[in-house]
């Protein structure tokens, strides 16, 4: 028995010695360089690109299994400006062989893994073709997948007993991006990546230093411990990025079971920086133009994020954008639909700052030519599930100052709702409800509006930069529309409502003066020293909109000297006006509650023209028909300017014709009657 054991040990020892001798002597006697053509051929066939290796090749097998290559080059397809897609000066890897063999691949000890001077050139041609397409050659036809037995829990994953890496480094790297279609060029140079203290039971230190377009970028941090079961368990990490001496980003958290059911829980902290300065350091133009050239100059962000491949949760997010502080919480799940919920709070924001600036050379409306609109794909909106709220303490929207804005938005099955939308607006309240239906290819919109006690003067002055009206505004309206192009929306506007103004004035028009003074109505009186105005106690405008035509059947205004009735319409498509205003002159200053009929001179006013250039003129024909010849005759006789315009007696001494007979001739001489 002893002799048998002795011979087994002798034979086993001899085999080990023989194996060691083979491992030591094979590299010394085998010329690996003669296999270079075969290596180049195999890589070229696998990638579909030309491949070459320099003559400096070396191989070791004991005590370290290692290979060293130099001057590796992977070529570009024909038609690109550079011959190589990838080049590497030297590549060396050394792994301790005996622990690897005796542990059946579960004990990995790497002495050295170094790639020096890798260079990758990513190039995009003007026709959109890139040099990284189709690496690997033509795709082989897919074969019918074979049924495989379900793996047991014990067979899933891969375990390591030990992993130790002495030196892991990528040095002097270079990545160049060239886009000939947009004449853009980006370069990452002097790239150095080092991993230190690489093992399974300790955090791995990461150091990255490079330059982006000659500007410094650094990353430092730790990842791990990784654990012995690769891709399982919880892997913590803590990373800090310093980009271009402008951006300071910290990411800290953990990833769980990345190989099976990956989940993450992390915090992001971005210190205050300027997006404009960051892009300037990269040599890039800012991608958007804003009315305020200083907008988007200050940004800061921090948040807690957790989730998986099926869900994302954002908690305690805080964003500072210029002078605006934002708080956000959000949840996203079922990303294919998707299903979103959020709550957004802002302290203040001037949205006008972020709008595109108005072009001084913007073509006039007449010069604009209609362009074909690409059909909008509403598929994503039909799938969208959304529940969100927005609260803004103060905002400026289209120059209007808004306070305490509260908005709730929801979406289900192609119907998007904003209900309610509430805000304080110029000492009053505005409430909106909107519904957008995109279940069909042409969207339908319905809007309900209610306004209470809004001071219209400051509102119009801020929004239009004009003094048009004063008073307190109230409104109720419900309007529907179809389409997405402005012209289509105008043609399909339908609805009704009532607009009400109290204790105010219409600025720029003196209706009372037109009633009291026919010469003023005719445009023959001297211009007043003060800006004309029509004061009123009440102005009510009931309306209907039918296919883009705004109609008011009986708008009325009550003022100290006037009772006014207005009837007519405004064509929202053609932007034209057609109204007739009948003011009743009241001979007393009794309060506006007085409903008694008063005697006075009735001077109807015709409002016509366009939205941009409205015109006002007295309706003289109506005066004649209503037989007020004597009243007008008295006014004309007292006014030399009007008297000289009358045909009749004059210097010839002939008796003047009745005003009804001479109206046509008079109209031709008056400013509003002259033909252009």
Angle of the 659-669 helix axis to the 629-637 helix axis, nearest 10: 50
Q: In this model, does residue 409 exceed pLDDT 80? A: yes
Q: In this model, does residue 267 exceed pLDDT 90? A: yes
pLDDT band at 635 (very low <50, low <70, confident <90, very high): low
Please give the biggest Cα pair distance in the chain.
Answer: 164
Q: DSSP E strands: which ranges in 244-397?
A: 247-256, 263-273, 299-308, 311-321, 324-333, 339-350, 385-397
Report how many domains make up the chain: 3
- Whether 168 is covered by a domain: the verdict is yes
What number is the average pLDDT over the span 552-570? 84
pLDDT in tens, 324-349: 999 999 999 988 889 999 999 999 99
Both 595 and 651 in a single domain? no
Q: In this model, does residue 82 exceed pLDDT 50? A: yes
Percent of the chain with pLDDT over 70: 72
Backbone angles phi, psi at 4, to 5 degrees: -65, -45
**Does residue 406 contact residue 422 with C-beta atoms inside 8 Å?**
yes
Q: In this model, does residue 655 exceed pLDDT 80? A: no
Both 574 and 488 in a single domain? yes
Both 555 and 472 in a single domain? yes
Lowest pLDDT segment from 131-135, 247-251, 598-602: 598-602
Measured CA to CA in angstroms, residue 493 lies from 279, 434, 488, 490, 646 at distances of: 45, 14, 9, 5, 47
- Whether 367 is covered by a domain: the verdict is no
Is the model more confident about 467 or about 34?
467
Is the model more confident about 648 or about 416?
416
Q: What share of the chain is helix, strand, coil (3-state, %, to 5)?
A: 20, 45, 35
What number is the average pLDDT over the span 492-520? 77
The closest alpha carbon to 510, from 395, 405, 402, 603, belongs to: 603
Contacts of 207 (CB under 8 A, 6+ apart): 192, 193, 194, 196, 219, 220
Determine the pLDDT at residue 595: 44
Please report, to the nearest 10 degrees, the dihedral formed by the alpha carbons of residues 576, 582, 587, 590 taken in order: -80
Determine the pLDDT at residue 410: 96
The closest alpha carbon to 205, from 172, 249, 237, belongs to: 237
pLDDT in tens, 514-531: 555 544 444 544 555 567
What number is the average pLDDT over the span 455-476? 91
Return the SS3 of 538: strand
**Exposure class string for 531-555: b at 16+ Cβ within 10 A, else e:** ebbbbbbbbbbebebeebbbebeeb
The closest alpha carbon to 206, from 216, 218, 215, 193, belongs to: 193
Give residue 90's domain range: 19-131+159-199
Contacts of 390 (CB under 8 A, 6+ apart): 344, 345, 346, 405, 406, 407, 408, 409
- Whether 28 is covered by a domain: the verdict is yes
Both 501 and 568 in a single domain? yes
- Whether 550 is covered by a domain: the verdict is yes
The closest alpha carbon to 382, from 447, 445, 437, 311, belongs to: 437
Both 661 and 614 in a single domain? no
Determine the pLDDT at residue 590: 45
Is the model more confident about 321 or about 135?
321
Both 662 and 536 in a single domain? no
**Exposure class string for 204-241: b at 16+ Cβ within 10 A, else e:** bebebebebeeeebebebbbbbbebeeebbebbbbbeb
Beta bridge mates, 124: 130, 179
Determine the pLDDT at residue 663: 35
- Whether 466 is covered by a domain: the verdict is yes
**Does residue 554 contact residue 564 with C-beta atoms inside 8 Å?**
no
Determine the pLDDT at residue 199: 82
Both 493 and 604 in a single domain? yes
Q: Of the residues 199, 227, 255, which one is the last residue of a structural domain?
A: 199
pLDDT band at 494 (very low <50, low <70, confident <90, very high): very high
Distance in angstroms (rounded) separating the CA atoms of residues 219 and 243: 8
Return the SS3 of 548: coil
- Whether 119 is covered by a domain: the verdict is yes
pLDDT band at 21 (very low <50, low <70, confident <90, very high): very low
Both 544 and 607 in a single domain? yes
The answer to pTM > 0.85 is no
pLDDT in tens, 199-244: 888 898 999 999 887 888 899 999 988 887 877 889 999 999 998 8
Determine the pLDDT at residue 18: 45
Mean pLDDT of the chain: 79
Q: Of the residues 570, 593, 618, which one is the last residue of a structural domain?
A: 618
Percent of the chain with pLDDT over 90: 38
- Whether 164 is covered by a domain: the verdict is yes
What number is the average pLDDT over the span 77-98? 85
Both 28 and 171 in a single domain? yes
Return the number of other C-beta atoms located less than 10 Å from residue 592's C-beta: 17
Q: Of the residues 570, 589, 618, which one is the last residue of a structural domain?
A: 618
Both 119 and 27 in a single domain? yes
Both 576 and 642 in a single domain? no
Both 646 and 545 in a single domain? no
For residue 283, give both structure tokens.
């040599």
Lowest pLDDT segment from 238-252, 532-546, 650-664: 650-664
- Whether 179 is covered by a domain: the verdict is yes
**Does residue 238 contact residue 252 with C-beta atoms inside 8 Å?**
yes
């Amino acid at each position: 028995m002893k002799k048998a054991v002795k011979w087994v040990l002798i034979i086993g020892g001899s085999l080990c010695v023989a194996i060691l001798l083979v491992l030591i002597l094979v590299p010394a006697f085998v010329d690996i360089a003669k296999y270079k053509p075969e290596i180049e051929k195999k890589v070229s066939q696998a990638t579909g690109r030309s491949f070459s290796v320099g003559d400096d090749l070396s191989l070791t097998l004991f005590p370290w299994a290692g290979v060293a290559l130099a001057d590796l080059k992977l070529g570009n397809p024909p038609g690109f400006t550079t011959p190589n897609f990838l080049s590497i000066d030297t590549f060396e890897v050394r792994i301790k062989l005996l622990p690897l063999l005796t542990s059946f691949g579960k004990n990995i000890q790497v002495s050295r893994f170094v790639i020096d001077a890798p260079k990758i050139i990513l190039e995009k041609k003007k026709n959109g073709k890139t040099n990284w397409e189709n690496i690997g050659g033509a795709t082989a036809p897919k074969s019918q997948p074979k049924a495989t037995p379900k793996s047991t829990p014990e067979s899933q994953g891969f375990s390591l007993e030990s992993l130790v890496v002495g030196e892991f480094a990528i040095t002097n790297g270079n990545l160049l991006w060239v886009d000939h279609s947009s004449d853009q060029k980006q370069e990452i140079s002097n790239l150095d990546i080092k991993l230190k203290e690489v093992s399974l039971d300790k955090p791995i230190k990461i150091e990255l230093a490079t330059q982006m377009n000659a500007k410094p970028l650094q990353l430092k941090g730790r990842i791990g411990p990784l654990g012995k079961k690769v891709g399982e368990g919880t892997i913590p990490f803590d990373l800090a990025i310093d980009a271009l001496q402008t951006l300071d980003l910290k990411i800290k958290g953990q990833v769980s079971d990345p190989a099976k059911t990956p989940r993450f829980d992390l915090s992001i902290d971005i210190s205050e920086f300027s997006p404009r300065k960051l892009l300037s350091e990269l040599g890039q133009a800012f991608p958007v133009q804003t009315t305020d050239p200083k907008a988007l100059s200050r940004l800061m962000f921090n948040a807690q994020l957790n989730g998986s491949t099926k869900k994302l949760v954002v908690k305690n997010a805080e964003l500072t954008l210029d002078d605006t502080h934002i708080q956000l919480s959000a949840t996203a799940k079922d990303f294919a639909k998707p299903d979103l919920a959020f709550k957004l709070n802002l302290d203040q924001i001037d949205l006008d700052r972020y709008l595109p600036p108005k072009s001084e050379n913007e073509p006039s409306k007449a010069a604009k030519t209609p362009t074909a609109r690409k059909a909008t794909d509403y598929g994503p909106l039909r799938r969208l599930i959304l529940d969100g709220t927005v609260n803004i303490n103060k905002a400026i929207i289209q120059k209007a100052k808004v306070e305490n804005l509260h908005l709730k938005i929801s979406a289900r099955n192609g119907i998007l709702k904003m209900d309610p939308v509430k805000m304080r607006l110029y000492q009053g309240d505005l409430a909106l409800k909107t519904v957008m239906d995109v279940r069909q290819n042409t969207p339908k919109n319905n809007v309900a509006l209610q306004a209470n006690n809004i001071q219209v003067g400051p509102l119009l002055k801020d929004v239009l930069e004009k003094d048009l009206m004063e008073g307190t505004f109230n409104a109720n309206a419900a309007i529907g529309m179809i389409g997405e192009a402005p012209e289509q929306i105008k043609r399909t506007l339908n609805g009704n409502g009532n607009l009400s103004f109290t204790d105010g004035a219409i600025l720029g028009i003196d209706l009372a003066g037109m009633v009291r003074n026919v010469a003023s109505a005719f445009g023959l009186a001297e211009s007043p020293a003060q800006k004309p105005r029509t004061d009123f106690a009440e102005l009510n405008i009931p309306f209907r909109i039918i296919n883009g035509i705004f109609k008011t059947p009986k708008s009325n205004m009550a003022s100290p000297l006037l009772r006014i009735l207005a009837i007519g319409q405004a064509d929202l498509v053609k932007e034209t006006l057609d109204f007739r205003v009948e003011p009743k002159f009241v001979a007393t200053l009794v309060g506006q509650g007085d409903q008694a009929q008063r005697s006075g001179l009735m001077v109807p006013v015709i409002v016509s023209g366009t939205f941009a250039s409205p015109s006002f003129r007295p309706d003289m024909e109506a005066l004649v028909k209503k037989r007020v010849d004597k009243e007008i005759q008295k006014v004309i006789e007292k006014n030399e300017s009007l008297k000289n315009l009358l045909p009749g007696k004059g210097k010839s001494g002939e008796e003047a014709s009745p005003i009804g007979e001479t109206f046509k001739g008079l109209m031709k001489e008056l400013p509003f009657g002259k033909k252009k």
